[in-house]
Structure 1
Amino acid sequence: MKYTRLTKEQLEELHPEFINFLATQSIDKAEWDKLKTEKPEVAEQELDVFSDLIWEGVLSRAIYLEHFSKNHIFLFHCFEKHIESIILKSLVAETDFLTKEGLQWLSDNMFTETIEMKVGKKEYTEERNTSIFQLIQQGAFLSDGQLYQQINSIIQS
């Protein structure tokens, strides 16, 4: 397995897609039920293959990621061969970017000496999707890139 198995909730959300996936393998409901009871290891393998297919599709379309922690915000723009980042760090210990108040504080103090901002660029050391998946495993999530674009446009001007 290249990535990780989808959760029970994710699999339930993707139920129609999973049915289609099984159909492409000539597995109908009766066959699936039989597999689960008589050959659970084969059923597990099917779930793993399906999960990898879904992850591969999601990661291939990923363009922006965000990761928030108490005092840091990591913004990523994913390209084909490299990833660019903007890292914001609060130099005020009480700041909590995980709260609405913390984000408002960031908005009010973005370009003051209380915010440290770093910009970076890194070539992928592994395959693009594997690198993006690792960031997701560490707590990043897919985003529309609005925050990245806003801050980047200010930095560029």
Structure 2
Amino acid sequence: MKYRQLTKEQFESLHQEFALFLASQKIDVTEWNQIKKEQPKVAEDEMNVFSDVVWQNVITKTKYVDHFSETTVNLFKCDEEEIHRIAIKINWDINLLEQDGFEWLLKNPMDNSVDVFKGSKPYNSKRNIEVFDLIEKGGSISKGEVFDYFSQLVS
């Protein structure tokens, strides 16, 4: 597997797409139920292939990933050849995971207690593998509004 198998909830939300995937391999519902029962390894392999297809599609379209903790924010812009990062650290008792803390940061980005760093680098391995790794480590796919906001401030 290139990525990881989708969760049960993800499979349930992609039920229609998975059915079409199986149909493209000429596997109907009856046959699928039989495969799951009699050949669990084959069923697992089919689920893994489908998971990789879904992840590949999602990650290829991903342009921004945000990762928040209580005192830091890491914002990533994922271009084709390189990744751009804005790292923000708050140096006092504020929780960026709470709405009030995040709003404070947006209103006070140049406060003395806020350190902002910006950098870019080429990918160490394949783009999609690195973007997937950011997501697996707790990053969330975003539209890039926060990245763009801070990028303009530190330009």
Place the TM-score, normalised by the shorter chain, in its bin: over 0.9
The answer (yes or no) to whether the contact 2:64–2:75 under 8 Å persists in 1 is yes
1:133 paired with 2:132, answer yes
Identity of aligned residues (%): 39
Aligned 1:1-157 pairs, distance under 5 A: 1-92=1-92, 94-156=93-155
Report the 3-state secondary structure (helix = DSSP H, G, I; strand = E; otherwise coil) of the residue aligned with 1:119: strand
Question: Distance in 1 between the 2:39 and 2:57 partners?
Answer: 28
Report the 3-state secondary structure (helix = DSSP H, G, I; strand = E; otherwise coil) of the residue aligned with 1:58: helix
- What is the letter of the counterpart of residue 61 of structure 1? K
Q: Give per-residue Cα distances to partners, 1:25-69, cap 9 Å, x unaligned.
A: 110001100000010100000000000000000000000010000
The answer (yes or no) to whether the contact 2:118–2:154 under 8 Å persists in 1 is no
Question: Distance in 2 between the 1:23 and 1:108 partners?
Answer: 52
Question: Distance in 1 between the 2:54 and 2:99 partners?
Answer: 32
Q: Give per-residue Cα distances to partners, 1:90-128, cap 9 Å, x unaligned.
A: 011x11100011112212321021100000111101100
Question: Distance in 1 between the 2:106 and 2:62 partners?
Answer: 26
Q: What is the RMSD of the two structures over their aligned residues, measured on CA atoms? A: 0.8
TM-score (norm 1): 0.96
- What is the letter of the counterpart of residue 153 of structure 2? I
Structure 1 stretches of at least 4 aligned residues deviating more than 4 Å after TM superposition: none
Q: Give per-residue Cα distances to partners, 1:103-157, cap 9 Å, x unaligned.
A: 122123210211000001111011000000111111001001011111112222x
In structure 1, the gaps of 5 or more residues are none
